């Protein structure tokens, strides 16, 4: 983690020189302490400022259990006002619509886990609007790209985050439900075939125009979605968030990006020390991970329907999904499979089995995972869906 920051470099270098042929699991790297991690941006505009606090964990530990609750968090203007953030979820602190004065500098002031932390005072750096979100259909899938520019040539360094939402369906459409010990047809509000799901970015997306004459970012890759992804099954939407960075903050995120390429995502433990602009004033020798900037966040959303994708693009379903049959009288055992496996069991009825069109002798059925989309999403459409 923080200590032994070059160990991963030497492991990889050794593999290149000697040609590693067998998997190697290094011994656990144990840091001497647990340090504060600060994630978030002071939003100078009308949108909310959300700061997440957590503690570092060693490589062998689960990072999701390290959120810091009960902290005192404030945004402070240099020589002026202080704006408190309220904890609205474990480890997450929010202030709504700060609408800061762009002529002043601001910092984050935190009291948590027995220590006091402050970030450097930084000036507000305005973020230019997102010009457009583009996409390309490639042999590898759907490539989402971003486009932006700053006519004043003052931004130069950019970061993006995103929120994905998609509509999908379960593999099998169940038109039946067990109610009061009987199998009956579902009402419209009981259908479980179509659902919505979502995800947030865990990768770091950066771009810079510092080496260009004009401050223009064109077709910068955001995310590549494979043709077999469930996200593209019916309709897909992405909300893109754009942040302007200082040169120093860009270097911080670039270091983070290089580390996460080794370990997986921004939320994973980091293999080397990453210097930000936040300091522990109680114990100055103790490292703090994070970089607090002040900017307005620009957003844009697009929707993409599956009608634009090649016909052969199809999601890969769970290979274990199969339609089963349950009969009132099993010819082999004489048992009532409808009673045992559906009404009292775990199978979800799909449709009736009626050879003559009048008498029902059983039902087709399958597992909850294959018939109920709520296992992976929710029925209710998001408020922004159109």
Which of the residue ranges 86-90, 210-214, 259-263 would you say has the lowest mean pLDDT?
Answer: 259-263
Instruction: Give the per-residue pLDDT at 166.
Output: 98
Instruction: Give the per-residue pLDDT at 158.
Output: 98
Which of the residue ranges 22-31, 81-90, 374-383 would you say has the lowest mean pLDDT?
Answer: 22-31
Which segments within 228-286 are labelled E, that is strand? 235-245, 278-280
Instruction: Give the per-residue pLDDT at 48.
Output: 95
For residue 317, pLDDT over 50 is answered with yes
For 241: left if phi > 0, alpha if psi spans -120 to 50, otherwise beta; the answer is beta
Contacts of 226 by beta carbon, 8 Å cutoff, 6+ apart: 140, 141
For residue 9, pLDDT over 50 is answered with no
Instruction: Give the per-residue pLDDT at 19.
Output: 43
| More confidently predicted of 166 and 319 | 166
Q: Is residue 131 within 8 Å of 300, Cβ to Cβ?
A: no
Q: Give the mean model confidence (pLDDT) for residues 278-299.
A: 95
For residue 290, pLDDT over 70 is answered with yes
For residue 223, pLDDT over 60 is answered with yes
Instruction: Give the per-residue pLDDT at 274.
Output: 64
Q: Is residue 83 within 8 Å of 238, Cβ to Cβ?
A: no
Q: Give the mean model confidence (pLDDT) for residues 313-319.
A: 80
For residue 284, pLDDT over 70 is answered with yes
For residue 302, pLDDT over 90 is answered with yes
Provide, rounded to the nearest whole percent, the portion of the chain with pLDDT above 70: 85
Instruction: Give the per-residue pLDDT at 7.
Output: 33
Question: pTM value?
Answer: 0.84
Give the span between the Cα atoms of 68 and 52, in whole angstroms.
8
Would you place residue 14 in the very low, low, confident or very high pLDDT band (cuts 50, 70, 90)?
very low
pLDDT digit string (tens) for 108-120?
Answer: 999 999 999 999 9
Q: Give the mean model confidence (pLDDT) for residues 249-269.
A: 75
Instruction: Give the per-residue pLDDT at 6.
Output: 32
Burial readout 50-64 (b: 16 or more C-beta within 10 A, e: otherwise): bbbbbbbbebeeebe
| More confidently predicted of 26 and 278 | 278
Would you place residue 32 in the very low, low, confident or very high pLDDT band (cuts 50, 70, 90)?
low
Give the span between the Cα atoms of 109 and 106, in whole angstroms.
10
For residue 8, pLDDT over 90 is answered with no
For residue 249, pLDDT over 90 is answered with yes
Give the span between the Cα atoms of 172 and 324, in whole angstroms.
11
Instruction: Give the per-residue pLDDT at 28.
Output: 45
Q: Average per-residue pLDDT in the chain?
A: 88
Q: Is residue 217 within 8 Å of 149, Cβ to Cβ?
A: yes
For residue 334, pLDDT over 60 is answered with yes
Q: Is residue 252 within 8 Å of 292, Cβ to Cβ?
A: no
Going by the DSSP 8-state scheme, the letter that residue 258 receives in this structure is H
């Amino acid at each position: 983690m923080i200590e032994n920051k070059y160990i991963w470099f030497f492991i990889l270098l050794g593999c290149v020189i000697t040609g590693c042929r067998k998997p190697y699991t290094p011994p656990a790297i144990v840091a001497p302490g647990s340090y504060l991690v600060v994630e978030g941006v002071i939003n100078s505009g009308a949108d909310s400022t959300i700061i997440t606090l957590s503690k570092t964990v060693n490589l062998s530990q689960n990072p999701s259990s390290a959120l810091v609750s009960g902290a005192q968090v404030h945004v402070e203007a240099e020589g002026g006002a202080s704006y408190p953030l309220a904890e609205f979820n474990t480890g997450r602190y929010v202030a709504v619509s700060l609408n800061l004065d762009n002529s002043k500098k601001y910092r984050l002031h935190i009291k948590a886990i027995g220590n006091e932390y402050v970030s450097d005072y930084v000036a507000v750096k305005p973020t230019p609007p997102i010009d457009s979100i583009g996409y390309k259909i490639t042999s590898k899938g759907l490539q989402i790209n971003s486009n932006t520019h700053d006519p004043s040539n003052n931004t130069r360094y950019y970061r993006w985050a995103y929120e994905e939402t998609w509509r999908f369906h379960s593999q099998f459409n169940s038109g039946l439900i067990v109610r009061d010990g009987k199998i009956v047809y579902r009402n419209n509000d009981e259908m479980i075939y179509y659902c919505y799901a979502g995800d947030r970015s865990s990768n770091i997306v950066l771009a810079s125009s510092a080496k260009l004459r004009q401050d223009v970012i064109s077709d910068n890759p955001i995310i590549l979605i494979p043709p077999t992804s469930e996200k593209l099954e019916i309709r897909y939407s992405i909300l893109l968030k754009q942040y302007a960075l200082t040169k120093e903050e860009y270097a911080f995120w670039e270091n983070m990006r290089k580390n996460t390429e080794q370990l997986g995502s921004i939320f994973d433990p980091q293999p080397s020390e990453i210097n930000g602009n936040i300091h522990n004033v109680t114990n100055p020798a103790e490292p703090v991970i994070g970089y607090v900037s002040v900017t307005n966040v620009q957003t844009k959303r697009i929707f993409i329907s599956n009608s634009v994708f090649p016909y052969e693009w199809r999601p890969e379903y769970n290979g274990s999904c199969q339609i089963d049959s349950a009969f009132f009288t099993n010819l082999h055992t004489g048992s009532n499979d409808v009673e045992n496996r559906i009404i009292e069991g775990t199978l979800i009825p799909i449709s009736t089995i009626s050879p003559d069109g009048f008498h029902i002798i059983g039902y087709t059925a399958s597992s909850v995972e294959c018939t109920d989309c709520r296992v992976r999403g929710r029925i209710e459409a998001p408020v922004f869906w159109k």
